C-alpha cells in the first residue's frame, strides 16, 4: 500500500501554515513535505512534527528568490557560492527535522546561456551537494519539471535526469519523479517508473490537466498505485496538487488509503 505525504505548500492552504500539520494528521496522512522550511525556526517545525507524529519526508534546497520567479540556482555559474551556502543551510534544517531527503531544483536557463556550461555547473554542484548530504545520511534528489508550467526549466525529462546522475557518479543522488510533470513531458509513466525504479527515491502526484487531485483528469491513478506496489516501490508519494475546491473536499480519492497512523 502506498505511503502518502501531504504537500503543505499546496494542501490545507485555507489555514495558516503551522496549523496544516494538525490538519494533515487529522486527514490521515503519516508524512508531510513542502517547498521550503526556511521561513520558520527549526525548533518550531520540529515541535509540530513531533506533536502530531508526522514524518518530514522532503523539502527543497534554497532555490533563489522564489517571489521574483527564480526556480533554482543549481545551473547558474554566478551563484555557486550561494548554492553551497544553501546546501549547508538545508543540512541544518534536515537534521533538525529528521528529514532524510532533500530536493535540488535545477533552475531556469537564462536567455542566451550556453547549455553546456549550465550542464557542467549543474553536475559539479550536484557532486558537491551529494557528498555533503551523504555525510549526514541525507539523500539528494533532482526533479524533472515540465516546461509548460515553468518555461525554460533546465531539467525536464527522466532520461536527462538519469544521464546526469550517471555523470555525477554519486550513489547518493536520485530522481524525484513527479507524475504530473512527466505525463506532460513524456507520458509512458508506468514503464518509465519500472525501468528506473532503483534511482527513484520519491514520487509526487497531481492529475492532468489542471494539476488537481487524482480523478479529475486523464491519469489512471488507481492503476498506478497498484502498479507501484507490484513493482516494489516502497518510498513516499507526495500529494502536490491544487485542490479544485477545498483540501478536505478533494480527499475522496485518498480515503481508501487512509490508515490510522
Q: Which residues are catalytic?
A: 143, 240
CA distance 89 to 125: 15
Cell numbers that stand for 214 in this block: 487524482
The residues that bridge with 176 in the sheet, in sequence order, are: 202
Q: Which sign does the torsion angle of CA 19, 21, 26, 28 carry?
A: positive
CA distance 5 to 260: 14
* Cis peptide, bond prior to residue 209, ω within 30 of zero: yes
CB of 170 closer than 8 Å to CB of 128: no
- In degrees, rounded to 5, the angle at the alpha carbon of residue 94 between the alpha carbons of residues 6 and 123 is 100
CB of 49 closer than 8 Å to CB of 95: no
Q: Cell 503519516 identifies what position?
A: 30
CB of 90 closer than 8 Å to CB of 61: yes
Q: For strand 3-7 and strand 236-239, is the pairing parallel, antiparallel, or unpaired?
A: parallel
Q: Which sign does the torsion angle of CA 24, 30, 36, 40 carry?
A: positive
Amino acid at each position: 500500500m502506498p505511503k502518502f505525504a501531504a504537500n503543505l505548500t499546496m494542501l490545507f492552504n485555507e489555514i495558516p501554515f503551522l496549523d496544516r500539520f494538525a490538519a494533515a494528521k487529522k486527514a490521515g496522512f503519516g508524512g508531510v513535505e513542502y517547498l521550503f522550511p526556511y521561513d520558520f525556526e527549526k525548533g518550531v517545525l520540529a515541535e509540530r512534527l513531533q506533536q502530531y507524529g508526522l514524518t518530514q519526508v522532503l523539502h527543497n534546497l534554497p532555490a533563489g528568490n522564489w517571489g521574483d520567479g527564480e526556480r533554482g540556482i543549481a545551473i547558474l555559474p554566478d551563484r555557486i557560492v550561494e548554492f553551497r551556502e544553501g546546501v549547508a543551510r538545508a543540512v541544518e534544517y534536515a537534521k533538525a527535522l529528521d528529514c532524510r531527503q532533500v530536493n535540488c531544483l535545477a533552475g531556469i536557463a537564462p536567455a542566451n546561456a550556453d547549455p553546456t556550461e549550465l550542464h557542467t555547473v549543474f553536475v559539479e554542484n550536484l557532486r558537491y551537494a551529494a557528498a555533503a548530504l551523504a555525510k549526514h545520511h541525507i539523500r539528494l534528489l533532482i526533479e524533472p519539471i515540465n516546461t509548460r508550467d515553468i518555461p525554460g526549466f533546465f531539467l525536464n525529462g527522466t532520461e536527462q535526469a538519469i544521464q546526469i546522475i550517471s555523470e555525477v557518479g554519486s550513489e547518493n543522488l536520485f530522481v524525484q519523479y513527479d507524475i504530473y510533470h512527466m505525463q506532460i513531458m513524456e507520458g509512458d509513466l508506468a514503464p518509465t517508473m519500472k525501468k528506473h525504479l532503483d534511482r527513484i527515491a520519491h514520487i509526487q502526484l497531481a492529475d492532468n490537466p489542471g494539476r488537481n487531485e487524482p480523478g479529475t483528469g486523464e491519469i489512471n491513478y488507481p492503476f498506478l498505485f497498484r502498479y507501484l506496489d507490484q513493482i516494489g516501490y516502497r518510498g513516499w508519494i507526495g500529494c502536490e496538487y491544487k485542490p479544485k475546491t477545498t483540501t478536505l473536499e478533494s480527499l475522496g480519492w485518498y480515503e481508501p488509503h487512509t490508515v490510522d497512523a
